[in-house]
């Protein structure tokens, strides 16, 4: 999900996007046709999975590691129906198959209803190391395990509801930043050290080490206003990661009504992706 040609906010338009949007329902959902996956794609999935599983121990947050082994992703491309049985029992969430990136409103509507849109197609072999848009591997491997955590699951729903409420408030840019710096590229401070919960990092073979170990990026204690003001990079590794203490903090800080916050933040200067403020709490 970091990529040269990625739209500034995902799904700002569906033009020029991969995926077949012709057979979808009005909510952008499609039916997963499992017979379309070729042997080569099943093999590619297994190699992507094996590579990433070697990287996550000691790096991913415990909530992710506790669940990933139980999901049977080792067997091949997951079936939505199988995952949904377990997910419904755990947190009442479900995954819904979609052709690819969704316009924000449709995306928010799914999250608000505790449905996570998962892309049906798998990346090409040429994109093995690096993909611009979310594919089925990024979505299942990066996002689905944390939907089993009750607190994170509630945060995702609150985010979707906030998105629907923000319609017309010129807040999309702020919401995209919050999503980017938490759901996609978030770090969490645990007793054992910094760990990753962001799906964009967890599904990346190279950023997973960079995010925790490189001396280049800043790792700053999560501050909601600071996050909303911070631009992000889509074409390189992140300049800044924001560190939460736990998912409860994330949920609590974002449970408030954002209307006043949007107005306040709009008056302040935007911050570059590698900015440093005197009040930033640095972790590196």
Residues of this chain that bind ligand HBI (CB under 6 A):
9-11, 98, 101-102, 104, 107, 117, 119, 134, 175-176, 179
Q: Which does 199 bind (CB under 5 to 8 A by kind): ligand HBI, Fe ion, none?
A: Fe ion
Catalytic residue among 41, 110, 133, 143: 143
Q: Which does 160 bind (CB under 5 to 8 A by kind): Fe ion, ligand HBI, none?
A: none
Instruction: Please report, as ranges, the residues that interact with Fe ion according to CB under 5 A.
Output: 134, 199
Q: Which does 10 bind (CB under 5 to 8 A by kind): ligand HBI, Fe ion, none?
A: ligand HBI
- The distance of closest approach from Cβ of residue 53 to ligand HBI in the complex, given in angstroms and rounded to an integer, is 22
Q: Which is nearer to ligand HBI, 24 or 266 (CB)?
A: 24
Q: Which does 240 bind (CB under 5 to 8 A by kind): ligand HBI, Fe ion, none?
A: none
Q: Which is nearer to ligand HBI, 20 or 66 (CB)?
A: 20
- The distance of closest approach from Cβ of residue 141 to ligand HBI in the complex, given in angstroms and rounded to an integer, is 14
- The distance of closest approach from Cβ of residue 179 to ligand HBI in the complex, given in angstroms and rounded to an integer, is 4
Instruction: Answer yes or no: 184 catalytic.
Output: yes
Q: Which is nearer to ligand HBI, 73 or 179 (CB)?
A: 179
Q: Which is nearer to Fe ion, 132 or 265 (CB)?
A: 132
Instruction: Answer yes or no: 189 catalytic.
Output: no
Q: Which is nearer to ligand HBI, 104 or 154 (CB)?
A: 104
Task: Please state at what angle helix 104-112 crosses helix 172-179, rounded to 10 degrees.
Answer: 60
Instruction: Answer yes or no: 206 catalytic.
Output: no
Instruction: Answer yes or no: 39 catalytic.
Output: no
The rounded distance, in Å, linking the Cα atoms of 233 and 244 is 20
Catalytic residue numbers, as ranges: 138, 143, 184, 203
């Amino acid at each position: 999900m970091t990529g040269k040609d990625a739209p500034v906010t995902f799904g700002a338009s569906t033009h020029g996007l991969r995926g077949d949007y012709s057979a979808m329902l009005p909510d952008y959902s499609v039916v997963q046709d499992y017979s379309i996956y070729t042997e080569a794609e099943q093999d590619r999935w297994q190699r992507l999975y094996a590579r990433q599983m070697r990287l996550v121990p000691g790096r991913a947050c415990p909530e992710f590691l506790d669940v990933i082994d139980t999901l049977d992703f080792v067997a091949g491309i997951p079936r939505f129906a199988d995952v949904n049985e377990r997910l419904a029992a755990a947190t009442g969430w479900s995954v819904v198959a979609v052709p690819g990136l969704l316009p924000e409103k449709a995306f928010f509507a799914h999250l608000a209803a505790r449905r996570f849109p998962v892309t049906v197609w798998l990346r090409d072999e040429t994109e093995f190391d690096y993909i611009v848009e979310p594919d089925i591997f990024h979505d299942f491997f990066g996002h689905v395990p944390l939907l089993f955590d009750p607190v994170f699951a509630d945060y995702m729903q609150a985010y979707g509801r906030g998105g629907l409420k923000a319609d017309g408030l010129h807040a999309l840019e702020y919401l995209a930043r919050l999503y980017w710096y938490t759901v996609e590229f978030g770090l969490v401070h645990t007793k054992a050290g910094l760990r990753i919960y962001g799906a964009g990092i967890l599904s990346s073979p190279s950023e997973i080490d960079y995010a925790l170990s490189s001396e280049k990026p800043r790792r700053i204690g999560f501050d909601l206003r600071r996050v909303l003001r911070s631009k992000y990079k889509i074409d390189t590794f992140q300049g800044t990661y924001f560190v939460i203490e736990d998912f409860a903090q994330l949920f609590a800080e974002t449970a408030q009504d954002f209307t006043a916050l949007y107005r306040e933040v709009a008056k302040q200067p935007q911050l570059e992706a590698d900015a440093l403020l005197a009040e930033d709490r640095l972790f590196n």
